Amino acid sequence: MALIVQKFGGTSVGSVERIRNVARRVAKWRAAGHEIVVVPSAMAGETNRLIALAKEIQAHPDPRELDVVAATGEQVTIGLLAMALLELGVKARSYSGWQVRIVTDSAHNKARITSIDEAKAGNITTLGRGGSDTSAVALAAALKADECHIFTDVDGVYTTDPRIVPEARRLRTITFEEMLEMAGAGSKVLQIRSVEFAGKYRVPTRVLSSLTDPAIAVVEEAQAGTLITFEDDPHMAMEKAVISGVAFNRDEAKITVHDVPDRPGIAYAILGPIADAHIDVDVIVQNVGHDGMTDMTFTVHRNDYAKAVKILKTQVQPHIKCREISGDERIAKVSIVGMGMRSHAGIAAQMFRTLSEEGINIQMISTSEIKITVVIEEKYTELAVRVLHKAFELDQA
Amino acid sequence: MALIVQKFGGTSVGSVERIRNVARRVAKWRAAGHEIVVVPSAMAGETNRLIALAKEIQAHPDPRELDVVAATGEQVTIGLLAMALLELGVKARSYSGWQVRIVTDSAHNKARITSIDEAKAGNITTLGRGGSDTSAVALAAALKADECHIFTDVDGVYTTDPRIVPEARRLRTITFEEMLEMAGAGSKVLQIRSVEFAGKYRVPTRVLSSLTDPAIAVVEEAQAGTLITFEDDPHMAMEKAVISGVAFNRDEAKITVHDVPDRPGIAYAILGPIADAHIDVDVIVQNVGHDGMTDMTFTVHRNDYAKAVKILKTQVQPHIKCREISGDERIAKVSIVGMGMRSHAGIAAQMFRTLSEEGINIQMISTSEIKITVVIEEKYTELAVRVLHKAFELDQA
């Protein structure tokens, strides 16, 4: 008998019939002798409806009050799901965050969990989109659960997006480190903060589909989906692929500051005002200088592109004497991720050669111990993902 | 400067535009220097939508979980109203019951407030339909507010329903005792429990319309509507009418148990099983017996009529040897209410004569110190209300 936290996304609880299916699935696990804690999202579309209502009142809704309104979406689902379980004869009670005392900081709409056991009646906060992934993992950590199940509308983590590469394979396991790099590189299966939390508290987390037959045998479902493991986990020995997956992201834009003086402090002079404006910077590349000058290139989210360029032209350019500021919104970031590349030389070379054979120019490169990311022209995204998936034999079981 | 609790009903907050109007009204009172606590209902229709959703899951929803779901209706309104006030530049924060620690018992859907200051994180309950009237009065009592304003879709308490008697007059004041009798006799202006609460804690409560121009001057609005006063209140001297109003109710049915033995314990033998089935009994009449036998007649809500008759036939008749059980669903209850009748003889006689002159037969009579109620054939309801309103000169200012 195990204690398991199961999280169901908005699509999984998007209608009365789907809520009944979730209840059947939970009841089945309960009948198999396990203790189950369920964390459902709001019904699909409900959070958008509530936010739209708030925006009719205030174009920029007060963050505290927006959370008061938006949190009702999940409150409705927990009540309905408890009823559906009771209807099946399963003892169930719903609890709001304040009742089980999940304490967050007061950064409304993107609150961070500070503790789960402290007794304090505070404000209502929401953890932001995808927050229920994080709630589920946090609960699993607090309860020392044996496993956390994240039920979603895909049946696991794939070597890449199957819509682009039909040969993409579901991974039976992936390490936290790889999952973190995949999420950071654009994979949308799990919210990145939930993966960080799972890693920090070592919560064994399994990604599963809620759209399968709810009556599937527990013994089968317990092995389905993708299990996120630790590097030192015995599960790791089962799969030894050098590369686990290819991730990509088309949400970013590239900005280059040309011919800036190659001196200490120049990176801060450029990126400080960007950070002050709460704009996140992702890939940063600064080449070796020539004649005392260098170029600095970095990527930001496309939504922040215009704002970032404006800051550079008004607040940075007057002070640092750069020659030009240019940018490009039509780029893509493509990454290969894998624990195995640490002990295999030549992975980067193989990646660059593969892209070059297709005539794809690499604009920027950034590497971590288990990830290599390249920035390329956006129109080559699918081609790059397909050839890399094939080159690293990710279609082979 | 006063501390005032203002309650707004579901129609008053039924749309974004109406919520804005409520905010304008509250802002105006705030600008006049008062401290304001606002208690809004759920947006009109929202509670029904949530209950329907629950009933799709469970035909008879679990009471605890139904409250979890239904309470979100008001949570949305408090957030939206706080935003609307902030948008007008008025400092405002919303609080749920658990945040201000209104503690209730755990009778879900019809919870009673047990205290308002005790620190305890318990379950979510709702006080039932019209519960926000009671929340508002309870808050006003706890905060020792100077006045409680109940904003609704009528502009005060009338001598009777203006849809039946166009000459019906708005009362400038009414005593708690009269208001309680009016509510008990079918007047739907205020929920009866909120009136009980107001009386118990001596909360000066004013019934006002939210559908007037929100910009109406505070000095004028402070005198508008109907103020519920105490008998020993100086306001009382202003109006000296013997009768304050005529109330009526067509929600009840009459049941008679014929020829039962006229002996001690017979009332309990008949009404005990009815009470055990949680059926409320209203008017009860037992005539003087003859030949050791008597008839007992009482009224119940029409929704409970069939159930009550069945209980009598299966659980009571076999034990008490009554001749017959008969009933009538087509009855109405008509009451006259007024503090003044205590010191004026002949009020009952005048009521009975007025009805008799119109050929209206009186089936049952029940009296309290400040109310006389008759049960008549339903088809005479409007006629009875009109002639009584005129006979007691309620149309005269």
Q: Is the pLDDT of residue B235 over 60?
A: no
DSSP B128: -
More confident residue, B275 or A306: A306
- Name the helix (H) or strand (E) containing B147: strand B147-152
Q: CA nearest B19 in A: which residue?
A: A57
Q: Which residue has the tokens 């209206």?
A: B360
| B 91-130: CB under 8 A from A | 93-94, 96, 98-99, 101, 119, 121, 123-124
d(CA B329, CA B332): 9
pTM score, whole prediction: 0.77
Judging contacts by C-beta atoms under 8 Å, the chain A residues touching residue B20 are: 57
Asked if B124's CB is within 8 angstroms of A58's CB, the reply is: no
pLDDT at B232: 66
Interface test mutation site (partner B, options A47, A78, A80, max chain B beta carbons within 10 A): A80
pLDDT at A271: 87
State which residues of chain A have pLDDT below 70.
101-130, 232-241, 288-289, 397
CB-nearest to B82 from A65, A80, A101 is A65
Q: Is the pLDDT of residue B124 over 80?
A: no
The distance from CA A125 to its chain's CA centroid, rounded to whole angstroms, is: 20
Ordered by where they begin, the domains of chain A are: 3-237 (3.40.1160.10), 245-391 (3.30.2130.10)
Residue B9 distance to chain A (closest CA, Å)? 18
Long-range contacts, stretch A56-64, CB < 8 angstroms, 24+ apart: A56/B16, A57/B16, A57/B19, A57/B20, A57/B80, A57/B83, A57/B84, A57/B87, A58/B83, A58/B84, A58/B86, A58/B87, A61/B83, A62/B82, A62/B83, A62/B86, A63/A108, A63/A109, A64/A106, A64/A108, A64/A123, A64/B93
Among residues B46, B180, B63, which one has the least CA distance to residue B111?
A: B63
Q: Which residue has the tokens 């956006």?
A: A378
pLDDT in tens, B287-343: 766 778 888 889 999 999 999 999 999 999 988 888 899 999 999 999 999 988 877
In sequence order, what are the residues at sequence separation of 6 or more whose Cβ sits closer than 8 angstroms to the Cβ of residue A235? Answer: A173, A227, A229
Q: CA nearest A50 in B: which residue?
A: B76
- Name the helix (H) or strand (E) containing B257: strand B252-261
pLDDT in tens, A355-385: 999 999 888 888 888 889 999 999 999 999 9
Among residues A375, A360, A336, which one has the least CA distance to residue A254?
A: A375
Residue A13 distance to chain B (closest CA, Å)? 12
- C-beta separation of B124 from B98 below 8 A: yes
Residue B392: pLDDT band (50, 70, 90) is very high
The two tokens of residue A268 are 């801060």
pLDDT at A313: 94
* β pairing state of B103-104 and B113-115: antiparallel
Contact status of B16 with chain A (Cβ, < 8 Å): yes
Interface test mutation site (partner B, options A46, A72, A83, max chain B beta carbons within 10 A): A83
